[in-house]
Amino acid sequence: MSDSEEVQTRVEDGVLIVTINRPEAKNAMNQAAAQGIAAAMDRLESESELRVAILTGAGGTFCSGMDLKGFLRGERPTVEGRGFGGITQWSPKKPLIAAVDGYALAGGMELAMACDLIVANRGAKFGIPEAKRGLAAGAGGLIRLPRQIPSRIAMELALTGDFIDAERAYALGFINDLTDGPAIEGAKALARRIADNGPLAVIASKGVIRDSGTWSDEEMWDKQQGYIANVFSSADAREGALAFAEKRKPNWTGA
């Protein structure tokens, strides 16, 4: 996959780093950037050596939301079947971490909440201010946010459009980790901890946690089995046990 002007990628130790590259527009999401993120996720899925991805923004801002100039031209920053920014209605099997500096607002906050984990600089700001512009947070803000923080706080943020800082977001459990420096450094450290683990186990664990919220008590054990059965019968499971017994680092093959 070749990078576009709007989205740049690089690989570090099995981690795919995806950067929204529109700093002059505070990384506002346009159609080209959405397509670039979707293409990066396809690469994450298709290349076995890639274990985790990080989504971040250039120039000290994560994403300021939808490009309103593009919106006025009739452009929608979505990808068919995947939603806003290429990820709000679809998730890769492998983990995706948001590294947030500056502002994650409107669609930018919705991009962050679509990721599996969030690392943010202490100075970061979050919000879904769509109501201030006569719009609604339709890319997941109204659906996902009450599942990720207390529902009354989610209601307050949606109805007032007010921002919250990273410290409060962390206290609410919305953020996994805070950094004093660039969020990407904390995100890379978290990604390395994930990439050290068995890839099949990571994919299965993400899948169960992501999907099990809709499972009933009667069906949850059978449904979980569909995700984890191949993990326990894999060569990696044997390698993990053997490496533990031999007191060495496992050599994962993803099989």
Could you give the residue numbers annotated as active site?
Answer: 110, 130
Place of tokens 């669609």: 107
The span from the CA of 63 to the CA of 61, in Å, is 6
The span from the CA of 73 to the CA of 89, in Å, is 24
Rounded alpha-carbon distances, angstroms, from residue 18 to 15, 59, 218, 243, 249 = 10, 14, 40, 32, 28
Strand runs labelled E in 67-194:
78-79, 83-84, 96-100, 103-105, 117-121, 125-127, 163-165, 177-179
Phi and psi for 173 in degrees, rounded to 5? 85, 10
Phi and psi for 20 in degrees, rounded to 5? -70, 120
Instruction: Note whether 20 and 69 are within 8 A (CB).
Output: no
Using alpha carbons, select from 15, 7, 4 the residue that is nearest to residue 199. Answer: 15
